[in-house]
Amino acid sequence: MSGQKCVLIISALDYWSMGEGKGGPALYKTLTGYAERGWKVYFITGNRPQGASDNLHKNIHVIRFDVPWLKRLIQIKKIGFFAKILWWVYFQITAFIKAQKLQSKEKIHVIYGYEIDGVPVAKLLSKLWNVPVVARFQGTSLGVDWMKRRLWKLRAWDHVLGLQIPVDLVIMTNDGTQGDRVLKSLGVKMEQVRFWMNGVDWEMFKSPPSKTEACEYLQVSAQKVLLTVSRLVKWKRVDRVIQALPEAVCSFPDTMLLVVGDGPERGGLERLARDLGVQERVRFEGAVLHKEIPKYLAAADIFLSFYDWSNVGNPLLEAMMAGKCIVTLNNGDTGRFIRDGENGVLLEYEDLPRLPEVIKDLLANQELRNRLGANARKFAEENFWSWEERIEAEIKEVSALLERRKKL
């Protein structure tokens, strides 16, 4: 195909989840990945401006809309279900109108629905414009066990709809949430699915600071440092780490827990720390720039992650790249990445009461921490691909779609 190719990406997410440069990098890397390879990228997002200029790249054009008050209603338990339906309908209609206006003056070659809300409108537009459609998912909260619950299809209607809609290419992130099994259970044609890990930014960990340098930079004076990195939402269960802290601090008084990330659970987690009497031993850092994460990892003795569905998000991958001693929970496909006693400590749910003892044993044994961390780094070097490799693989698939469509 000659000339500049143009992709329209539609998502209810923003390219940074916690403000400019903060949060998971996957959507940002996707936008810039296409743009840096010569594509013209239009991004329609259901979010108000983050206070930034949206000047990501000369080839990227951001189109925004939002209804913040409606999103707030979704958080109210009694009406949240119905508010979510209203927001979904509003998002589909508004994204459709904005896309139609765009298409009247710009030839779109590929439409890309990013996450469950973006796929339905992307599919409709692809039919109208006769262009290929790609669905991209950052994993899934619709676990295989979810499908055993009563009325699960009704309760998770937006997930079922977004995941099941037939498209030309499905890119499901292998983040440990077993998205491949979910898609298969929903009857999706697996030959159209690419089940890939996110890329990683090895450059960030090329010359990490020493623990001493990192602690000085972050103004951390504690000798022992525990670290969690995540958006502070219920299912990421940072509370499990805070609950283990009193006993750990009793044995190692000069211990500090750094909680990196922000979200609706922050107030509750701060109250929990006060109620347990460890508020002076927990530092809530809020959302920090993604480029600062290596400094926090360098300062940490132990990285902890206890998500409910899976723990193979970018924070855990980056902790492995940084060669950290990792303690995590065996759910989803986490066990494919962390092998207990070899490159980390992998706990079963029934082992969670032992978490304080596990933390204390590791804090007392630097040799063990170093060995587990070195093996985690080795696993990362052998199994992770860079963002450049990951984006190249995707664009190769999308370009092949265009070539096949051109021959029809």
90 burial class (0-12, 13-18, 19+ CB within 10 angstroms)?
middle
The structural domains of the chain, ordered by start, are: 6-199+386-407 (3.40.50.2000), 202-383 (3.40.50.2000)
Digits of tens for pLDDT over the chain (408 positions)? 457 899 999 999 999 876 777 778 899 999 999 999 999 999 999 998 766 678 899 999 999 999 999 989 988 888 988 999 999 999 999 999 999 999 999 999 999 999 999 999 999 999 999 999 999 999 888 765 666 677 777 888 899 999 999 999 999 999 888 899 999 989 999 999 999 999 988 998 888 899 999 999 999 998 999 999 999 999 899 999 999 999 999 999 999 999 999 999 999 999 999 999 999 999 999 999 989 999 999 999 999 999 988 888 889 999 999 999 999 999 988 999 999 999 999 999 999 999 999 999 999 999 999 999 999 999 999 999 999 999 999 999 999 999 888 776
Integer angstrom CA distances of residue 163 from 133, 147, 183? 13, 14, 7
pTM of the complete model: 0.85
Distance from the Cα of residue 172 to its chain's centroid: 12
3-state class (DSSP) for residue 248: helix
Backbone angles phi, psi at 334, to 5 degrees: -55, -35
Integer angstrom CA distances of residue 154 from 151, 188, 367, 387? 5, 19, 51, 36
72 burial class (0-12, 13-18, 19+ CB within 10 angstroms)?
exposed
Q: Are 347 and 354 in contact (CB under 8 A)?
A: yes
Say which amino acid occupies 100: Q
Say which amino acid occupies 46: G
